C-alpha cells in the first residue's frame, strides 16, 4: 500500500521508521517531514493543518492510507477531509479530536462515561479561579482549556503562579492534584474495537529529579516492570471502553489513537489527560518494541476491521529514549545551531532542518531523541545515553535520569 504520513516531529520520524519497516508499505510519503524522515520516506511539502491541502495531496499521491501524527491537524478536521475523498485515514475526526482539543470537553466525556479522573472545575475569571484554588489547596493544577503543545499545564505550590497562569490562559480547568507514578497508554481503535499497546512512562519536567517547568516530554521508556499486572486490563475496562462508547453515543465515534495519560494513585489509575494521537517521545520506545507490522495495524483501525486483527507481537527487552533539547527550551528555543552525530541509527529527528550548505541544524525546542533497545532496561538506558554522548549541539540540554528510578527499583505505587 501507499502511505502518506502527515507531520514533522519525533513522533512522525518514529512512525515513519515503523511504517518503512512494514513489507506491506510499498511507498511511504511524508509531508512536510524532516531531515530524519527523509532517510526513510519521500518528502512532500504541505501545510499540515490545512484540510483541503492534505486531502489534495492524498489524492495526488494515490494514498491508500493517510496517517496523521500531530494534534493540530486532527483538531482542524484534516482526517474528515481525507475521508471525504474516500481515502482511509488513521486519525480521529475533528469532532472526536476534541477529546484532546478541549480539556473541558474531555472532562465532560469522562464524567458522562464514569471514567476515574480528578475532580475539576472549569473556570473563567478571577473569582471562579480563586474559588477552585481554595477548594483544592496546593499543589495547584491549572490547565489551559485549549491546545498548548504540552505547555498548557502548570502544577505549582505557588498560589500567585497558579493565578497568573489562569489569567494568561483565559479559560482553564482547575483540577485536584493526582499523586502517583504516571503512565502513558496508547490504544489503537476503530471506534468500537480497541487494541492497547505497551504502557510507557514519559518524563514531562525539563530537569533531572522532575524539577523545572513542564515540557512536551524529555524522555521515555518501556516496558514498565513496576506497573500492576492488571493495569492495562483495568484501564481498558474502566476508561477506554466506556469512553469509546460515550463517543459513539454522541454520534462522534473516536477512531485512531487514544492516548490515555494516567496517574497510578492510591485509589487506582486515574486519567490525567486524553490525547488524540501518539505521544512524543513515548512513541519512539513503544514502536521500537512492536514486532507487528505497523502499517497493517493502522490500516485495520482506519478501515474498521480491528476486531479481526491478530494479537500484537512484541520484541523481548526494553527501550529508552532521551530527548536532546535546544538552548533555553521550553522557553523560546535557540535555533540554527549545527548538530553532529544526528545521523546515527536510533537518533530520531524532531526539530531539525537542513541548512543550504547541507549541514544539519536545530530548528525547534526538542531537537532529537536518542532511542535504543537492549535485553533489559539498564542495557537499553546505557545504549541510549551512549547515543546522546555521540551527539553535539551547542547549548543543548538533556535529562540524565531517564528510566533511572525504574532501573534502580525506586518506583513506589
Is residue 80 within the footprint of ligand AMP (CB under 6 A)?
A: no
Q: Report the C-alpha gap between 102 and 314 in whole angstroms.
A: 33
Least separation in angstroms between CB 143 and ligand AMP: 6
Nearer to ligand GLY, 219 or 361 (CB): 219
Q: Which three cell numbers stand for residue 334?
A: 535557540
**Smallest distance from the beta carbon of 274 to ligand AMP, in angstroms?**
9
Ranked by CB distance to ligand AMP, the top (closest) residue is: 273
Map grid coordinates 499497546 to a residue: 197
C-alpha cell at 162: 497558579
Which residue lies nearer to ligand AMP by CB, 178 or 368? Answer: 178
CA 144, 146, 148: angle at the middle one, nearest 5?
Answer: 75
Cβ–Cβ under 8 Å, residues 213 and 156: no
Member of 181, 261, 341, 374 binding ligand AMP (CB under 6 A): 261
Binding residues for ligand GLY, per CB under 6 A?
Answer: 150, 202, 216-217, 275, 279-280, 282
316, β-bridge pairs: none
Site string for ligand AMP, 107-126 (x = CB under 6 A): -----------x--------
Nearer to ligand AMP, 177 or 309 (CB): 177
- Provide Rg for the chain, Cα atoms: 20
Q: How far apart (Å, rounded) are the C-alpha atoms in residues 278 and 1? A: 22
Rounded CA gap, 379 and 390, in Å? 17
Contacts of ligand AMP in 154-213 (CB under 6 A): 155, 175, 177-178, 182, 204
Contacting ligand AMP within 224-243 (CB under 6 A): none
3 state SS of 331: coil
| Count of Cβ atoms closer than 10 Å to residue 62 Cβ | 11
Strand ranges inside 238-312, DSSP E: 256-265, 268-275
In the list ligand AMP, ligand GLY, none, the entry touching 364 (Cβ below 5 to 8 angstroms by class) is none
Q: How many residues bind ligand AMP (CB under 6 A)?
A: 14
Which residues are at the interface with ligand AMP (CB under 6 A)?
Answer: 118, 141, 143, 153, 155, 175, 177-178, 182, 204, 214, 261, 272-273
Amino acid at each position: 500500500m501507499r502511505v502518506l504520513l502527515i507531520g514533522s516531529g519525533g513522533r512522525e520520524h518514529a512512525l515513519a521508521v515503523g511504517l518503512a519497516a512494514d513489507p506491506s508499505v510499498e511507498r511511504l510519503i511524508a509531508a512536510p517531514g524532516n531531515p530524519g524522515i527523509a532517510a526513510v520516506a519521500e518528502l512532500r511539502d504541505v501545510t499540515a493543518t490545512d484540510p483541503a491541502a492534505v486531502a489534495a495531496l492524498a489524492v495526488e499521491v494515490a494514498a491508500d492510507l493517510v496517517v496523521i501524527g500531530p494534534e493540530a491537524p486532527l483538531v482542524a478536521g484534516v482526517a474528515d477531509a481525507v475521508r471525504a475523498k474516500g481515502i482511509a485515514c488513521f486519525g480521529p475526526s475533528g469532532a472526536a479530536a476534541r477529546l484532546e482539543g478541549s480539556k473541558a470537553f474531555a472532562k465532560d466525556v469522562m464524567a458522562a462515561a464514569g471514567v476515574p479522573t480528578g475532580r475539576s472545575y472549569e473556570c473563567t475569571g478571577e473569582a471562579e479561579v480563586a474559588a477552585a484554588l481554595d477548594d483544592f489547596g496546593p499543589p495547584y493544577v491549572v490547565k489551559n482549556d485549549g491546545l498548548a503543545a504540552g505547555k498548557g499545564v502548570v502544577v505549582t505550590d505557588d498560589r500567585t503562579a497558579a493565578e497568573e497562569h489562569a489569567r494568561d490562559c483565559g479559560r482553564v480547568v482547575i483540577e485536584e492534584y493526582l499523586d502517583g507514578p504516571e503512565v502513558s497508554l496508547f490504544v489503537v481503535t476503530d471506534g468500537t474495537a480497541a487494541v492497547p499497546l505497551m504502557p510507557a512512562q514519559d518524563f514531562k519536567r525539563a530537569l533531572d529529579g522532575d524539577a523545572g517547568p513542564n515540557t512536551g516530554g524529555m524522555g521515555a521508556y518501556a516496558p514498565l516492570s513496576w506497573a500492576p499486572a492488571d493495569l492495562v486490563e483495568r484501564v481498558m475496562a474502566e476508561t477506554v471502553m466506556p469512553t469509546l462508547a460515550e463517543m459513539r453515543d454522541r454520534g462522534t465515534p473516536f477512531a485512531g489513537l487514544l492516548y490515555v495519560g494516567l496517574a497510578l494513585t492510591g485509589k487506582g489509575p486515574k486519567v490525567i489527560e486524553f490525547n488524540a494521537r501518539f505521544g512524543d517521545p513515548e512513541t519512539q520506545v513503544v514502536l521500537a518494541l512492536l514486532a507487528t507490522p505497523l502499517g497493517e495495524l493502522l490500516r485495520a483501525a482506519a478501515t474498521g476491521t480491528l476486531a479481526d486483527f491478530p494479537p500484537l507481537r512484541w520484541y523481548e527487552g526494553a527501550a529508552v529514549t532521551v530527548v536532546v533539547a535546544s538552548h533555553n527550551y521550553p522557553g523560546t528555543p535557540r535555533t540554527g545551531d549545527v548538530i553532529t552525530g544526528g545521523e546515527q541509527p536510533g537518533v530520531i529527528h524532531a526539530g531539525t532542518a537542513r541548512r543550504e550548505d547541507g549541514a544539519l541544524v536545530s530548528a525547534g525546542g526538542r531537537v532529537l531523541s536518542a532511542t535504543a533497545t537492549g535485553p533489559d532496561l539498564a542495557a537499553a538506558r546505557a545504549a541510549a545515553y551512549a547515543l546522546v554522548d555521540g551527539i553535539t549541539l551547542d547549548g543543548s540540554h538533556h535529562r540524565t535520569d531517564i528510566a533511572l528510578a525504574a532501573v534502580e527499583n525506586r518506583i513506589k505505587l
